[in-house]
Amino acid sequence: MSAALKKSPLSRVKDEFGGKDKLVDKIVGVLDAGDESKDDLRKRLLGVGNGKLIRLHLVATRTKEAGGHDKLVTTTADKLKRGKDKDYVAKLGEFSNARLLDMLSVAERALASAEKAAKPKAPRSAAKPAAKPAAKAAPAAKKKSAGKSSKGKSK
């Protein structure tokens, strides 16, 4: 999507959620407020910018889909192939959900590209004539001999 077609956070909130109040209600329902009451959290979130609220909603829903913070930590460590390293898993547990989700997406993309690179390429079709590879070999031999003769002249 080009920059000219990108919607502002305000228009995205209105289109996707029906207003800031409804978005904040969805976030309060998904987020773990901890010691804070839901009313206090709601009041605090109403003062936050629309772009940040959209990002917060995205992170909260993805974390809930992943099974919570602890499950996200173990999944990220496994994708990074460091699931058995207890100290590393403990350190990942200190990270925010957003950071864990970003690390997980990077690890998944790296695994996908490694699998793509590991796949063998399809063999060339037998319909191509055999004369072309021989024709390609001849100019390569000429280049090598041309390179040797130029070295001999410069000495």
DSSP state of 6: P
For the segment 105-136, what is each residue's pLDDT rounded down to a tens digit? 999 999 888 888 887 766 666 555 555 555 55
Domain residue ranges of the chain, discontinuous segments joined by +: 7-66, 68-121
The whole-model pTM stands at 0.65
pLDDT at 77 > cutoff 90:
yes
Q: Measuring CA to CA, which residue among 95, 107, 23 is closest to residue 58? A: 23
Place of tokens 């690890």: 107
Q: Measuring CA to CA, which residue among 89, 56, 87 is closest to residue 70? A: 89
